[in-house]
């Protein structure tokens, strides 16, 4: 679906979410190991800091370089951003069937199984799809989706601006909106 941006966008998005229906069943399938990389959660630098403050863990223990990279024509290998670490395939924060950092969880977790691509609402497979959702929860989810898209756009722009700062020497580099790190 496409919601038109502007006055009423959040309300229209929330109405669409209510039409689809969603309630988290706490099945943990989006947190546990499964087929493919379904529980791979990309995290921004600010999300890593927030989770570090909440959990008391160091940023390095929370996130690792995103497992995919691109090879540039001059053979430099570049990884864009970080993902939550996983232990035996499960998110490291998934313990005793719940999320240890729930109040500080990343935007991807907060908005799953939905995502905005531009103004289009994408819906991913999830057991909770089709279940009733309240007006209040649908509005909160719609707001979180818009905030997530804005943060992701900012991150992409930060990376675009810093991209020329990747050293022109062979090697593996990680880039995010806060800088370039040699891996």
Q: Would you say 84 or 141 has its CB closer to ligand SF4? A: 84
Surface-to-core class of residue 153, CB atoms within 10 Å of its CB (0-12 exposed, 13-18 middle, 19+ buried):
exposed
Give the total of residues touching ligand SF4 (CB under 6 A). Answer: 11
CA dihedral 87, 181, 156, 161 (to 10 degrees): 180
CA distance 10 to 29: 28
Q: Of 101, 133, 142, 175, which one interacts with ligand SF4 (CB under 6 A)?
A: 101
Question: What residues form DSSP beta bridges with 115?
Answer: 122
Q: Does 114 bind ligand SF4 (CB under 6 A)?
A: no
Surface-to-core class of residue 79, CB atoms within 10 Å of its CB (0-12 exposed, 13-18 middle, 19+ buried):
buried
In the complex, what is the shortest distance from the CB of residue 92 to ligand SF4, in angstroms, rounded to a whole number?
Answer: 7
Q: Would you say 13 or 104 has its CB closer to ligand SF4? A: 104
Q: Which stretch binds ligand SF4 (CB under 6 A): 55-63, 74-82, 97-105, 144-152?
A: 97-105
* DSSP letter, residue 168: S
CA distance 116 to 124: 11
Q: Of 3, 17, 31, 48, which one interacts with ligand SF4 (CB under 6 A)?
A: 31
Q: Does 180 bind ligand SF4 (CB under 6 A)?
A: no
Q: Of 22, 80, 94, 114, which one interacts with ligand SF4 (CB under 6 A)?
A: 94
């Amino acid at each position: 679906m496409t919601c038109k941006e502007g006055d009423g966008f959040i309300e229209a998005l929330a109405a669409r979410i209510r039409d689809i229906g969603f309630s988290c069943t706490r099945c943990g399938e989006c947190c546990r190991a499964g087929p493919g990389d379904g529980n791979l959660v990309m995290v921004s630098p600010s999300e890593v800091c927030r989770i570090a403050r909440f959990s008391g863990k160091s940023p390095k223990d929370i996130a690792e370089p995103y497992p995919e990279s691109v090879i540039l024509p001059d053979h430099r290998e570049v990884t864009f951003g970080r993902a939550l670490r996983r232990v035996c395939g499960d998110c490291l924060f998934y313990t005793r069937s719940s999320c240890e950092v729930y109040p500080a969880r990343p935007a991807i977790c907060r908005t799953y199984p939905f995502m905005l691509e531009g103004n289009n609402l994408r819906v991913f497979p999830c057991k909770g799809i089709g279940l009733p959702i309240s007006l209040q929860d649908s509005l909160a989810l719609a707001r979180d989706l818009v905030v997530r898209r804005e943060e992701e756009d900012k991150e992409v722009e930060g990376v675009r601006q810093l991209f020329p700062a990747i050293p022109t020497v062979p090697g593996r580099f990680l880039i995010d909106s806060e800088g370039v790190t040699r891996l």
